[in-house]
Amino acid sequence: MSTPVPTPEIVHVHTLRVSCDGASEIRGGAALGHPRVWMEIDERGYVDCGYCDKRFILDGTAPDSETGKPGH
Ligand SMILES: [Zn+2]
């Protein structure tokens, strides 16, 4: 008997700028979503959609992004 825990959906992305309409994965389910919003992933490395709580996580870093960072 599994407990139905409502875990927020997590999407791994490769760009800092992401869009969400809540139904991009649902075939013909645009009506089930929400108005498309654009968000930018901040220094935490992720951003949550304010409409559907979907979490977008920046997946990895570009090789050339390691250079130019002060310290570390
Ligand atoms: Zn959303």
In the reported structure, the alpha carbon of residue 10 is separated from the centroid of ligand 1 by a whole-number distance in angstroms of: 11
Which residue in this structure is represented by tokens 């930018």? 40
pTM (two decimals): 0.65
In the reported structure, the alpha carbon of residue 45 is separated from the centroid of ligand 1 by a whole-number distance in angstroms of: 17
Structural domains of the chain sorted by starting position, each given as residue range(s) with its CATH number in brackets:
10-60 (2.60.260.40)
CB count in 10 Å sphere of residue 45:
12
pLDDT along the chain (72 residues), means of 10: 74 94 68 88 95 91 54 58
Pairwise CA distance, residues 27 & 7, whole Å: 21
Nearest alpha carbon to residue 57 among 26, 15, 22, 24: 15
In the reported structure, the alpha carbon of residue 14 is separated from the centroid of ligand 1 by a whole-number distance in angstroms of: 17
Pairing of strands 10-13, 55-58: parallel
In the reported structure, the alpha carbon of residue 52 is separated from the centroid of ligand 1 by a whole-number distance in angstroms of: 4
